[in-house]
Structure 1
Amino acid sequence: MQALPVRLVPGDDVRHTLEALARNRALSAAFVIQGIGSLSVAHLRYAGVDEPTVLARDLEILTLGGSLGPGGAHLHMTVSDSSGHVFGGHVSAGCIVRTTAEILIVHLDAFRFSREPDSATGFPELSIHPQA
């Protein structure tokens, strides 16, 4: 297991940047275990809804977590606005860093993640494989 601290800078797209980092570093199985920072816009997909909701205002990232692998990312985030209202959901493309995002990733080098169709859910779900 290897810890990888990461800082995203203004203008970075959280999802795209983390997926690119996973590809560039050949992370076969990793978890984002925490993230904090700020966004200028968030695209969050709420439970049971097909399209993300766009929150276009200054936001604080309260939590960020999920999995990263060759098949992409599965990330969830909670954010708060200047009134203290909290929103949370699935991280879609378009979550843009305002000032910073400080993220801790853990690479699980003994495993490989993939996304495979799950007949019970109808979605491509995490499949965990030991590295040979």
Structure 2
Amino acid sequence: MQVSVIRLRPMEDLKKSLENFVKENQIKAGIVLTCVGSLQASHLRLANQPQGTTFEGKQEIVSLVGTLATSGSHLHLSISDSTGKTIGGHLLEGCLVYTTAEIAIGILPQLRFTRELDTISTYKELKVYPK
């Protein structure tokens, strides 16, 4: 595994920035190892909801997990507010960095991820192939 670390600056979009990094580096199979930072606005699709929900105000990034690939990524974000209340969901565009987002990404050069329709879940799900 190769490891890359990126730092996002204020007002950068977390999802768009990750997608750009994956595209620019032609990552066929990657994983988020860790992420710390803060957001000034968040946009998540909560469990079993068809649309995203926007959360205004400053939040700490508690975790960011998921798979990354030029063929499609799947990322979940957990955030906490000033009282410690934590919520999480599917990362959508609109999560804007407040002070920083420091992200370590594991790149798996021996693998290739794709997203293919699963007949049981009816969603495009992860398929892993050797490179």
Superposition TM-score, scaled by structure 1 size: 0.97
Q: CA deviation at 1:72?
A: 2.4
Counterpart of 1:108?
Answer: 108
| 1:13 maps onto 2:13 in alignment | yes
Helix, strand or coil at the partner of 1:87: strand
Counterpart of 1:80?
Answer: 80
Q: CA deviation at 1:48?
A: 0.5
Q: CA deviation at 1:33?
A: 1.6
| Gap runs ≥5 in structure 1 | none
Alpha-carbon distance in 1 for matches of 2:73, 2:96: 16
Q: CA deviation at 1:50?
A: 0.9
| Letter of the 1:12 counterpart | E
| Letter of the 1:107 counterpart | I
Q: CA deviation at 1:34?
A: 1.2
Q: CA deviation at 1:6?
A: 1.0
- The size of the alignment, in residue pairs, is 131
Helix, strand or coil at the partner of 2:73: strand
Q: Which runs of 4+ in 1 moved over 2 A?
A: none
Identify the range of structure 1 (53-62 vs 66-75) with the bigger mean alpha-carbon deviation. 66-75
Superposition TM-score, scaled by structure 2 size: 0.97
Contact preservation (8 Å) 1:15, 1:73? no
RMSD: 0.7
Cα offsets for 1:60-88 (capped at 9, x unmatched)? 00111101001222111110111111111
Alpha-carbon distance in 2 for matches of 1:87, 1:94: 16
Cα offsets for 1:21-54 (capped at 9, x unmatched)? 0010011100012111000001011110011110
